[in-house]
Structure 1
Amino acid sequence: MDPVKLKQALDDVFDRALLHHGFTSYMRDYQLVIHTTADPRSGIAPATMRYLFRCCVQADCKTTVPAETWRESLDDRLITYQTGVDLDGYVWGVEWQPLYPGATIITDSPTARNWAAAVGIDFHEVRIRTNAHDLTLIFSDLQIEELPSEEHGPDHLFPIR
């Protein structure tokens, strides 16, 4: 994948809403499901996009939520928006995270170079940070597609309008 196109694709989701991330059901590729919105006056319709990091040989995920906040956020009522919204702590139940500060391409990644030499195809390293997770992915290609608007159903909670 062309690094310039990769950078543009990652810049396009800066400060958007990450709805889900994880390996696909067949466990080779890693996906981010991202909701994009614009000022309603722009006429640009909201969309749900899937960023598919193909041939993902490494996916590291760690929390960015500080220990003090975790300590205040252990109550299971916080995993549902309706029961957690008025409690102190991190409300896990909002079911999205802002892609902020966003994604960074790790240029000259030794890990990506080692995988490229071992497998025989190009690999890239990307770091993606949100307000709750810090992801590092090693992958060969990125495919982007728009998901049907009903992908998350009419009851999907998305408090940003």
Structure 2
Amino acid sequence: MSPEEIEAAFEDVFDQAIVFHGFADFMRDYDVIVHATSDPRTGTSPENLRYRFRHCVRANITTAVPPEVWAASLDDRLTDYESGVDLDGYVWGVKWQVLYPGIKLEQDSREATEWSGRIQLPMHQAIIETNGHNVDLIFSALEVTTLPPGWSPFTVGHGGPDWKIPLP
């Protein structure tokens, strides 16, 4: 995708719901799963979209929740909607974050330019802002795919990792 196409893909999910974000199970690409909806009057069905930030060399995640709200949100009951909805504090158990103010492609990113030179691949910087986390990524390309209901980003297998060692 060109930078213009990346920006258009970001605009497509403005003010939608992020339901998961983290590295793909093979640990190279960073995934942001968005539940996208539209006005029910349009007749358009909601869909789950995976925004895969390929060749992600850096992911910085910070809280968007102010310290005073964090201080009031330490009760474990807030991690479950049913037990936390009537408590004071941030209800972590809603299990989604609003994608607002949204995702932007950082123009003229010094760090993306440096990484481009290091690995000889055009790199970009995306800044994702939500009501729960802020995510800052350096990546090479964006792929957007539709996911089926029930899709899971990671499954814990039997017996642990296979203990292969990556070669340099």
- Place the TM-score, normalised by the shorter chain, in its bin: over 0.9
Amino acid aligned to 1:78: L
Deviation of 1:25 after TM superposition, in Å, equals: 1.0
Amino acid aligned to 1:129: E
SS of 1:9's partner is: helix
SS of 1:11's partner is: helix
SS of 1:27's partner is: coil
| Alignment of 1:93 onto 2:82 | no
Cα separation, 1, equivalents of 2:54 and 2:139: 6
SS of 1:151's partner is: coil
The aligned residue for residue 30 of structure 1 is 30
Would you identify which runs of 4 or more consecutive aligned residues in structure 1 move more than 4 Å?
none
Cα separation, 2, equivalents of 1:88 and 1:49: 32
SS of 1:134's partner is: strand
Q: Which sections of structure 2, spanning at least 5 residues, go unmatched?
A: 153-168
Amino acid aligned to 1:57: V
Q: How does 1:40-51 map to 2 (within 5 A)?
A: 40-51=40-51
Cα separation, 1, equivalents of 2:39 and 2:149: 18
Deviation of 1:150 after TM superposition, in Å, equals: 2.9
Deviation of 1:101 after TM superposition, in Å, equals: 0.3
Cα separation, 1, equivalents of 2:49 and 2:3: 20
The aligned residue for residue 76 of structure 2 is 76
Cα separation, 2, equivalents of 1:78 and 1:52: 30
| Paired residues, number | 152
The aligned residue for residue 132 of structure 2 is 132
| Alignment of 1:54 onto 2:54 | yes
Cα separation, 1, equivalents of 2:40 and 2:109: 40
Q: Which sections of structure 1, spanning at least 5 residues, go unmatched?
A: 153-161
SS of 2:112's partner is: helix
- How big is each residue's C-alpha offset from its partner over 1:65-93, in whole Å with a ceiling of 9 and x where there is no partner? 00100010000000011111111100000
Cα separation, 2, equivalents of 1:150 and 1:60: 27
CA RMSD of superposed structures (Å):
0.9
Amino acid aligned to 1:62: T
Amino acid aligned to 2:98: P
Amino acid aligned to 2:129: R
Cα separation, 2, equivalents of 1:151 and 1:110: 36
Deviation of 1:151 after TM superposition, in Å, equals: 2.7
Amino acid aligned to 2:148: P
